[in-house]
Structure 1
């Protein structure tokens, strides 16, 4: 029964994650922390939840990237430039996780989850400023309808922001897309579908780098990962399919509601524990 639950968690988290570019860890980590209270899963610490989540996201990122490549919506150049910051940031974040006990982790993670829910609320209400060419990276993208988008970013700002996102990913095991996607859309003027696809492309190598660090620290539970990975692979393809077929407003509303409830619960546990 436990294996079925883990498989379903992997499918649900990865589907939502690849649909809107979050990566899935925002669901996997709270789910694993919740399972820690169930007999047979008491060995799950925050560090194990984070390490196992990041390892699982390697397959979410790979599966999503392969699927988005078929739609030709991945901006490889920008993703690789952002990786200059997110790679080192994820390593640092993985080491910082080691210093957090359960209550501190719950408190900080709960606050972060509430922040993500606010970002999801504002993402569709805020509009990017008109794009102005500046010294830095300038990109163009033509979608399937023939419409051409022009976007770009200052290289230093892009690497700095991606370092912060990578650090958060390494600490909480969430992939970083929850912050990177809105940043790419609102600050760097990316078309939304390109931002989501490029975020998933970034999550793949960033998760590998973070996972290597967590593996060396002994934070990956291989049995849990074995149960989560098939769901992550299946769910990533489901999310990409839904991204091309559905408007994600309803999904975002549902996810936002779940995050608020989970975030408040984690903060409560962190304070009262």
Structure 2
């Protein structure tokens, strides 16, 4: 219905509504996202709406950051209660930040457009790699952040690129990011494959129904509802 929010809502609902351990919810959602975003990448690739330079820059930061984060989780112990608390807290903060990015994206972009001079390409490249690092850590811990947060920053860094190319680039980058992070959680033993199968089975009719509804409900109605839901769920996880 909105293009964002599915991944943001998936993990907290699995934790809060269905009682899954945070690490299991995160790991399973990551593999689910890798499968669904692979299809999205194929669509955008066929339409030539992917900027592979942006994807490479993001992956240069995110892939090493993901591996390091997974190694830290493996060292600490993914099933420890303390680790579950860290994941829940990270997830809650990520949801609150995502809610702000969704609700105030237009105002954020206008602010940077007015107050920021055009950056040299080298500076943009460095900032994109740093964004990738942040997304690698955030996604590995919470499975949230690559969508709304990543897209908002990309729109600030690359105002000259068409939005559809940035969307395609963001989705393409999410495939190796979620796949590696999900594989790492698999090795840590925090994947529920029966849950993964059920999520994939439900996503197809959900996409069809959501697409039909989206054509009838205005975006300015959907986004505040989504942002409000994410804020409430994120607040519950944090506090």
Q: Is the TM value for this pair above 0.5?
A: yes
> Aligned partners of 2:217, 2:44: CA distance in 1, in Å?
15
Q: TM-score, normalized by length of structure 1?
A: 0.72
Does structure 2 conserve the Cα–Cα contact (< 8 Å) formed by 1:60 and 1:236?
Answer: no
| Aligned equivalent of 2:128 | 158
Does structure 2 conserve the Cα–Cα contact (< 8 Å) formed by 1:116 and 1:178?
Answer: yes
Does residue 1:52 correspond to 2:52, yes or no?
no
Does residue 1:171 correspond to 2:141, yes or no?
yes
Pairwise CA distance, 1:119: 1.8
Cα pair distance change 1:64/1:114, threshold 3 Å: same
> Aligned partners of 1:191, 1:68: CA distance in 2, in Å?
13
Cα pair distance change 1:106/1:236, threshold 3 Å: same
Higher helix share: 2
- What is the aligned residue count? 228
Higher strand share: 1
Cα pair distance change 1:168/1:96, threshold 3 Å: farther
Note the aligned Cα RMSD (angstroms). 2.9
Does structure 2 conserve the Cα–Cα contact (< 8 Å) formed by 1:54 and 1:211?
Answer: yes
Pairwise CA distance, 1:242: 8.8
Does structure 2 conserve the Cα–Cα contact (< 8 Å) formed by 1:59 and 1:232?
Answer: no
Once the two structures are superposed, residues 132-154 of structure 1 have per-residue CA deviations (whole angstroms, 9 ceiling, x without a partner) of 36243xxxxxxxxxxxxxxxx62
Once the two structures are superposed, residues 168-219 of structure 1 have per-residue CA deviations (whole angstroms, 9 ceiling, x without a partner) of 0001012522321001001332433322221111111111111111111111
Once the two structures are superposed, residues 61-99 of structure 1 have per-residue CA deviations (whole angstroms, 9 ceiling, x without a partner) of 112122223443221221122111111222233344536
Q: For residues 19-98 of structure 1, what are the structure 2 equivalents within 5 Å? A: 19-20=3-4, 24-37=6-19, 44-97=20-73, 98=78
> Aligned partners of 1:217, 1:192: CA distance in 2, in Å?
37
Long gaps (5+) in structure 1: 1-14, 38-43, 137-152, 269-273
Cα pair distance change 1:240/1:93, threshold 3 Å: farther
Q: Which of 260, 269, 273 lines up with 2:231 in the alignment?
A: 260
Does residue 1:219 correspond to 2:195, yes or no?
no
> Aligned partners of 1:115, 1:244: CA distance in 2, in Å?
27
Cα pair distance change 1:226/1:77, threshold 3 Å: same
| Aligned equivalent of 1:11 | none
Q: TM-score, normalized by length of structure 2?
A: 0.81
